[in-house]
Structure 1
Amino acid sequence: MNPVRGIALKVTAIALFSVMAALIKATADSVPPGQAVFFRSFFAMIVILVWLAQRGELQSGLKAQNKMGHVWRGLIGTSAMAMNFAALGMLPLPEVTAIGFTAPLLTVIFAAMFLGEEVRAFRLTAVGVGLVGVVIVLWPRLTIFEDSPEATVATLGVMLVLGSAVFRALAQIHIRQLVQTDQTSAIVFYFSLTATCLSLLTLPFGWVVPGLDVIAMLVTAGLIGGVAQIMLTSCYRFAPASVVAPFDYASMLFALLIGYVWFDEIPTAAMLVGASIVILAGVMIIWRERQLGLKRGKARPNVTPQG
């Protein structure tokens, strides 16, 4: 174990994902979300294949035991990605990031519903606190009674981010099941493959021939996404999940910085307050998961993570 290296990989991955989101946002006026999903997934898949080949794991790392599990994970994850990419063209980057923090809160609820995990008062309270923060972020955008194109676009963007959060939480539930039978490399690769194939189905619905600058940004987004995914996967080899998980919220800092420098987006007070509350709730859940993990470890010292 090397926690410092694990944390460094996690923070770097989060920073790269933030840059990737900014590149997608910068091209949102030029290409439809389905086309952006194709570039993001196809070029990430190439990076993942090269990485596996260099490690000598190209054959073993791509064995799929739960084939239908990969299909469902791909369908759900691709839906989440497409919704998020569409929302990036409608809302400021920091707001998309803040509202996206709804996903880990929903994962707690879905784990209880679909996996039978026990969720006690502490975590339910943390989820409730987090949802209050989400409402604070959303409230200025829920202008359903304001009749203007800008208000309509903003409201649609909010709905898309929330939809993306729901699907991302569902994807996490499927991943928790997939890791029991398949390697992480296979899960990452087959998601990219499925997303690439599904994105091609949107070809008849408005794909364009963008300029070279837009193509360069989309290809870069895909390559960066692939590298970030590898770093995210690798960080867990050097540090426990409970150690690196809180650094997910560094994405808020990167989103604020990139939004301000690149897109001239000034964060509102409501967004900052709401995001802070959501982050606090997320850290509470992570802390509780760590405490429960330590208790389980003391009770079952000889049980493997797969057990």
Structure 2
Amino acid sequence: MTDRPAAPHGVYGHPPADLAEVPEGAVQLSPLVPGSTALEELGPGTLAGLTVLAPPGTLERRHALALSVRALSPGAPLTVLAPKDKGGSRLSRELAGFGCRLDESARRHHRIVRTARPDAPTGLDAAIAEGAARLVPDLGLWSQPGIFSWNRIDPGTALLIETLPPLSGRGADLGCGLGVLARAVLASAKVTGLALVDNDRRAVAAARRNVEDPRVTVAWKDARAADAVPERLDFVVMNPPFHDGGAEDRALGQAFIRRAAAALRPGGTLWLTANTHLPYEATLSEVFREVTPRAAAHGYKIHEARK
């Protein structure tokens, strides 16, 4: 007889190292790490322990917490933390609703809750269903809480769609989200191929359902990676992210701009939408031959950049 392999410890998100202990070799479960394991796919009792950086959105957070409790074996330890102003103040109440007994502390503007999976948790199915993928009637598209602008078309994307001319040739949509922008681009019959790239597994799954077109490929990758985007493209469109872990990080959008420039052929064009306060013009001018403002409204700006 052989011993059963020990159940792994999991980690969801990227908890600050000085606030939560994560055992070496823990399984990464974040939907924002391409190639990582999906928490939704773990069967009950799969994990011997779990550390969670809880997401800020209520539906997404409750969904992740319920999945976390379900994935643990009875009595297995669960550590959950979040900034106080981004869901941390609600952790105790939400976990108590699942039948967990709690030990709560505070440190560095975070709430930290240590608990264990109860023998008979309650309310898991309802919370999992509330945060699951669904068809959003107002959009007519599949989505899921936690995806960027999951239940509406954000104003920046809407302005870019209004501004775009008919495009042609091979292109890419970096940070494609649900596929709203891609659907507008594909309205042009002259588009021969469109690569959709996003680092959110949930967005990729939604885009595959929302953009059913033989000209399209969809990849779960970080758009900044060298192998994420095809080369010698005719155009790139994007509404790049500018938050990382809830904090503004302008380097994200700048990296997207550089990746777009590297992927385009000489003469190829980038169409970019961004909040008006983001200083992307210097980076655009550094890597593109010609940069032209095309629109500005509702706190957003559109640039066309030619390589």
Bin for the TM-score computed over the shorter chain: under 0.3
TM-score (norm 1): 0.23
TM-score (norm 2): 0.23
Q: Which has the higher strand share?
A: 2
Q: Relative contact order (C-alpha < 8 Å, sep 6+): which is higher?
A: 1
Q: Which has the larger radius of gyration?
A: 2
Q: Which has the higher helix share?
A: 1
